[in-house]
Amino acid sequence: MMDRTLFDPIIGHSRLKEQFARLIDEDRIPHAMIFAGPAGIGKTLMAIAVASALVGRRVFPDLASREGEAVAGDKDDAFYLAPMGAMLKVDQFRQLQGELALQGEAGHRRVCIIDHVETMNTEFANRMLKILEEPPSGVCFILITDQPDLLLPTIISRCARFTFDPVGDDEMRQGLRRLRGDGRNWDEAILWGGGIVRTVLSYLDGQGTDKAHFALDFLTTTAKHACPYAKWLALSAALTDRETTEILGWISLFLRDMAVLRSGAGRDYIRLKGYIHEMTELLPYWTDDAVFGLSRVLDEGLEAVSRHVNVRLVWDYVCLQAIRLRGGIQ
């Protein structure tokens, strides 16, 4: 029977946990699986838990420290690949094939976890397809992706797909109680996180408020500064993909609450109650049309970041559109 404590570090996804446990107990785990869902939701943690169950021991207890390795191996039965720079490279797959060519321990499974598989180049994809068509005995592949629509249909058709949805509030609270033990700021963090575990944990660790201030700076700069384009591009120059995603999310949330404030709805409908004063001051500068227009622009920006568009280009576009919506560019 599978050791279900392997799932303890994972918040939510109880249905998938039971499904994987049953497949492992019945020795029916597919030889190739796709874990698909939003970033920061627990796909990689689940892959590590499944890999640990398959090889019979906990693997990759310190995966964060292995960042930058072409192929991170845990003994000879668990391997992890992530993009080198912007993409997965064929040299990484060649190295993995070399590892798999070595004979593993008789009767034991080996597991290959490939993260952000949507970033693989054409040669990587061709080699991947070939190995999925003729899988080595006892080897299981777990392909992790935020964007399954970018994968080749021929690869998708050879894998069992498991979809990871945002975690519900009740499951989020249960997981936080198990891992954190206290309820300080849980409701606000859960509300902000939108079902994304990493975002909730970042907020609880004090990282969310920094991004909130950045978001307010954006709305204030594009509304009031004499040279908003140059000012904001200077402020955003060093932001990473993840930071950009979080800040764009915060801007969206502020715009949502500003629309609620303007509608005259009660305080109970405001999500970011700690920022009511700042949002009220911004209301004269942002019309309803500008708020809704910028919300659409932010969605486009988030989509671009998810497709690994250079974040400086994303901020260039978002900033120019915000200035246009404010009436600064005709």
The CATH number of residue 83's host domain is: 3.40.50.300
The reply to whether 123 and 52 lie within a common domain is: yes
The reply to whether 16 and 150 lie within a common domain is: yes
Other beta carbons less than 10 A from residue 45's beta carbon? 18
The verdict on residue 13 lying in a domain is yes
Residues of the chain with confidence (pLDDT) below 70: 103-107, 183-185, 207-209, 328-330
Q: Which domain holds residue 96?
A: 4-165
Q: Number of structural domains, the chain?
A: 2
The verdict on residue 184 lying in a domain is no
pLDDT given for residue 46 in this prediction: 97
The reply to whether 221 and 157 lie within a common domain is: no
The reply to whether 145 and 212 lie within a common domain is: no
Domain boundary among 165, 197, 228: 165
Domain boundary among 132, 165, 198: 165
The reply to whether 12 and 144 lie within a common domain is: yes
Other beta carbons less than 10 A from residue 87's beta carbon? 15
How far is it, in rounded angstroms, from Cα 271 to Cα 269? 6
- Residue 136 CA, chain-centre distance (Å), reads 30
The reply to whether 132 and 12 lie within a common domain is: yes
pLDDT given for residue 297 in this prediction: 94
The reply to whether 23 and 151 lie within a common domain is: yes
The verdict on residue 177 lying in a domain is no
pLDDT given for residue 329 in this prediction: 53
The reply to whether 222 and 309 lie within a common domain is: yes
pLDDT given for residue 208 in this prediction: 62
pLDDT given for residue 65 in this prediction: 84
Backbone angles phi, psi at 289, to 5 degrees: -60, -40
Query: What's the whole-model pTM score?
Result: 0.74
pLDDT given for residue 330 in this prediction: 43
The reply to whether 43 and 132 lie within a common domain is: yes
Reported as a single tens digit per residue, the pLDDT across 107-135 is 578 999 999 999 998 899 999 999 999 88
pLDDT given for residue 144 in this prediction: 97
The verdict on residue 180 lying in a domain is no
CATH number at residue 287: 1.20.272
The verdict on residue 192 lying in a domain is no
How far is it, in rounded angstroms, from Cα 180 to Cα 178? 6
The reply to whether 226 and 160 lie within a common domain is: no
Reported as a single tens digit per residue, the pLDDT across 229-248 is 888 888 888 888 888 988 99
